[in-house]
Structure 1
Amino acid sequence: MQNDFFPDSQAGGVHKPEVNHWQERAAWLKAELNRHSHAYYVLDNPTIPDAEYDKMFRELVELEQDHPDLVTSDSPTQRVGGKPLPQFEQVRHALPMLSLNNAFGEEDIVSFDRRVREGLNTTEDITYSTELKFDGLAISLRYENGYLVQAATRGDGTTGENVTANIRTVRAVPLRLNTDTPPAVLDVRGEVLMFKADFARLNERQREAGQKEFANPRNAAAGSLRQLDSRITAQRTLRFFAYGIGVLEGAGMPGSHSALLDWYAAMGLPVCRERAVVKGAKGLLDFFHSIAEKRRGLAYDIDGVVYKVDRLDHQQRLGFVSRAPRFAIAHKFPAEEAMTVVQDIGVQVGRTGAITPVARLAPVFVGGVTVTNATLHNEDEVNRKDIQIGDTVIVRRAGDVIPEVVAYVPELRPDNVRRFVMPATCPVCGSPIVRPEEEAVARCSGGWIKCPAQRKGGLLHFVSRRALDIEGFGEQLIEQLVDKNIITTAADLYKLGLTALAELDRMADKSAQNVLKALEKSKSTTLARFIYGLGIRHVGEATAKELARHFGNLDAFLRASEEQLIEVADIGPVVARSIVSFLSDPLNIELIEQLRAAGIHWPESEPAAAVPKPFAGKTFVLTGTLPNMTRDEAAARIEAAGGKVAGSVSKKTSYVVAGEEAGSKLVKAQELGVMILDEPGLLGLLDRQLPEVELQQEEQQQGER
């Protein structure tokens, strides 16, 4: 039947149609829930916020409880998720992968605890195992005699997709259990997810390649795991947490859920540390509130917590309803998605001139803040999502991530919507906006000389911690200096005087003196920081280090041709052309000379090809806290000796330098047999500056020991 949604101008929410009969209402709810489930689970393209879906689902559950004759085999209440994708081989789960009922308020948790006590016929406090509810993709891992033989997605709960080849590329998943007495069969249930930092790096690579960005870590994880080419999955950092069990043969079942997770951890299966064993409803709610406070600081997204009766014999006594266990429930956080109206679409200008469409929204409270603007990424994304001015849209905010528009709600689109048109000229400086071939991003052609927005972005980049590291220069100070025409380029920073600074808003003599001291201190830097601070497009921190190492001094870098640049490690034609273009601009060369004249200096060295580097070809990984050096200091010394510092351990890693509280990287190094050094061991190598032959001999000797 027709979906008669209408905007509610008073509440900004959704008004559902009045129906004359509960049968019509149930049929409408089933159709809508099935449609939205398909979009979420199969297409990875959610069409309404989770909170709206949950409201509709609860209403259908209540209708079916009141009228059992409404329950049909195609009802969303009788299934767990969406249908599996047809491209993968289908796997039938030995035991169904059921989902959990949801709770939204404290009264729901009190009711859950009461039902558990009644089911167990006791008045004593129940012992519960509490965990996090990850925002990822449910997975089943089958181990036979300790070896991973199969991995399957949840699918519809009964049949899932065979993603074994892709799971084998996930480093968090052990290919063999760490035990001398593995069970004959172990079906591990858990979640595949992507950490926030890994998600940010993936989207950065997508942007640099001119490819579509992912909307959120969950979609990125699902899209990565569902790649038909496992080599693509291998390029993306996925994680895994175990939290349940299916079939177990050839071993005794632990007595409790918490003991099961401890057993998993002992066998090398990743188990989240944020878990606890608590008593009664009060213990459940205390855990919920403690996690709510930690939530934004976690490395991954969660949308709630999970409570399970801890004793497994009690779980068996309580049993299941049609789609979920009676012994467990998910306590969800307030929604971090909301619906609002796009009042207009404007653009922002970035440091490199990138023009980003931004939705101007009717104010909406989401993720703990009132949101009035949300990114639309680029013109292609606006068109792909078909976002128009006047649409009602879903806005998502996760942690400190910039709010974004996820999708529009088709049922609420009015007749008078207007399409976004990319402006022809920059709204800040009036220069033409151009879109280079094969790029997704349009850019202001004015450059930093003409465009104040690019000027501000470039200056903020120049003073940032990874560049010249000039303390005291925040966004407000840079804006004042540019808006009042006190500075135009980074070189002008070093011409600032005490009087000019002290007269600015929120500045006094003491603050101005501190800024001048920071400027003076920044004059002593490194060539890598200087190159990075110039803000050359496509030249990040790692590339700047390679350029500094390869050329050794600024003059050699400035003279480099495109062919010579391509010889530098990790630099391809696109980056080389970008560097040559930057250095071909007389204004940029003038800026570099002015900065040198201002006194910025660094130790000069010979090009890498002219100086033998004892650590050349060696890859180091740093983990944990070193007693006397920061990681940056250790990395700088390793790189100065020709070594490369990587972020993850692989078979190609030469050394892992481990400090206190070293984590999974140390474990991985031990598994692969990579040589492990402490700080004295690293310093010993650095101080001796061993030539390649001696390094090989030392490695061989340590290996023999």
Structure 2
Amino acid sequence: MDHATAESRVKELQDLLRQYNYEYHVLDKPSVQDVEYDQLLHELKQLEEEHPDLMTPDSPTQRVGGSVLEQFSKVNHKNPMLSLGNAFNEQDLRDFDKRVRKAVGDNISYICELKIDGLAVSLRYENGLFVQGATRGDGSIGEDITINLKTIRSIPLRLTQPFSIEVRGEAFMPRSSFIALNEEKEKRNELPFANPRNAAAGSLRQLDPRIASSRNLDLFLYGIGDPGETGVEAQSAGLDLLSELGFKTNKERRKCASVEEVLDYIKEWTEKRADLQYDIDGIVIKVDSLSHQDELGTTAKSPRWAIAFKFPAEEVVTVLHDIELSIGRTGVVTPTALLEPVLVAGTTVGRASLHNEDLIREKDIRIGDHVVVKKAGDIIPEVVSVITDRRTGEEKEFTMPTHCPACESELERLEGEVALRCLNPKCPAQIQEGLIHFVSRNAMNIDGLGEKVVAQLYRENLIEDVADLYRLTLENVIALERMAEKSAANLLNAIEASKENSLEKLLFGLGIRHVGAKAAKTIAQHFENMHALMAASEEDLLKIDEIGDKMASSIVTYFSQEEVKELISELEEAGVNLTYKGPKLSRSENTNSAFSGKVVVLTGKLVQLTRNEAKEKIEILGGKVTGSVSKKTDLLVAGEEAGSKLSKAQELGIIVWDENRLLEEINGQEV
């Protein structure tokens, strides 16, 4: 076969196989037998081997390819992948509905979707081609798992239209695949997976894509990273667009005009969920209108326009054998129930937090009791109650100690708190927990430094504080138990890479009392470098929105300590970055920009700037760019072929600029 004929046949085969794949894996309506599909795929492989220049990245033959990875690289999500707030009963949903209606009025509708019990992922396409896939991670930074996501046949490698778009979905393992996988594991005398969610997550984090390919995973798309860029005006329309582009969306979604209809939908699927071929753990309820979503906004962790109703937790009975005490990084002593291992909501539970002494007394929990256990939110095990009828008289009451079990210092209860604390700053348990917090995902995010490795390093006197991490050598690390040379080298590389983190990661990692991840970013963005923060007074800190008296006092007290000043100097000497690397605060405080404090919407085709360039320049000048026109919109920039957003802005009396007017303002500010 000559090259021209081969090229024509390759294109024909690729188009055919894409269509057959879409019919089988997305529509669930196969039009050809498996044997015919396999024959065509085999023919395509042969032609591509004979004519390598005809092979394309989106070819159906490229579902599994490439070499085994050594590790996953990090991916920064352009738009954060926020988690959802939870509702556990009807009243929670009615309260959510009231909050929504109070904010945007009664003319609303909701879109209800099944909450797939899997792994949230992000997929990025450029000009219609799949170029990158990532895990959710901490919401801001995930892991690049493109090579594994390509093995999921319901994910199109090429869209039906040449869109550049980032979309979100939930990867999962169908029940049939889960059963088959565990049967294979049992044949090989391997430990089976506890549930399909763990199996899906484990499969997508394999460095060898052939393993992920063998697991028969699937994926439903549930959203668009920045829906405003697509021109859609509702969540339901966004899902319809995703279907048109060739994505698999869940057809069981329903638009509801009231909270009563939402409750009916939940009742229906609470009863029917066992009939599905995949696991769901609740229902996601979203305000359908994107303009209403913009008005409602988000908190640091979750959108105010969506909520997840969680199905009632499964409750089981087991025996509480003992109560163990642990010391957290802030010195809080937490009692933990040691249970007879029992299966709860798909995983084996052997431990459950008892929180504090008051809870133990309130529930009259004794060692030896039969207790009812559930998972709060299907995640965190907790002791619900005691079955007193089963007591034999052998049970023992539990009393909290008066001294720290780790360092023997006297425990104290601070005014207004229920928790007992060890106030000894040299307490080894606190130091170790502080180290674990420092290397955790939301802090310095050092891969390979889990609790066990940190414990070994501390036990071997190789680290006493976080600065010591940056003094570790290959000789130190390779001497640890079960640490091969390659793993040791990877760990040191991860430690070295963490030096480049932005200031907020370090600030959160230091574990300053009352300073969470969101506050750390706000503070880092305001002061821009560690030395400016260390010199700040309580008055300086209180000028920042969201920083209250307790936090300001805690920060000043922390940085006034000589040992803390010494620690920061050691980190700086080790090369750890002490500056903020994220978006700077707007210059609205020292500029007369027309964008200062304004909500701006871009619509239509811009000729001289890309939409992202325009957005970046507006935000630098103090504006906020959103995707939908609402009553909160101050300015609309209309490019060529502007449509419904322009009409809506005119109806609402919103100021409208063309691209030339936009450029005049931007250039006048010398962005």
Length-normalised TM-score, structure 2: 0.48
